[in-house]
Amino acid sequence: MFNTWKNRHMNKIRIGGKEYPCQMTMGALLRFKKETGREVTEVKGDSISDMITLLWCCVASACKRLNHPFEMSLMDMADSMDQDDFAEWQKTSFEAVPAPKSDKKKA
């Protein structure tokens, strides 16, 4: 069921007033390659169009994985977002995650 993803640790994004799951999956990476002809590893941090395309791929893939409807084209999604939506996604998706503490003692 759709609502189960809201309880999981998964990024979410608001698009056009609705909340959608957003996760980097293998499907998202393949979608990006299909859309752009390039690998995600070739993305430059200053390319807004690449970042929006990657975001669309992550949302489409997460929705597919969770059987949640998502029928927006890339352009429909971009038209439904503003700079604040995009900035919030960037902040939550690319913030530093602290490394787990090691139980090993230094010799």
Residue 31 pLDDT > 50, yes or no?
Answer: yes
Strand partners, 22: 11
Instruction: Tell me the two tokens of residue 20.
Output: 């959608």
CA-CA distance, 28 to 18, in Å (whole number)? 20
What is the per-residue pLDDT for 34? 96
Residue 95 pLDDT > 80, yes or no?
Answer: no
What is the per-residue pLDDT for 97? 46
On whether the pTM is more than 0.85, the answer is: no
Instruction: Tell me the two tokens of residue 23.
Output: 């996760």
What is the per-residue pLDDT for 44? 81
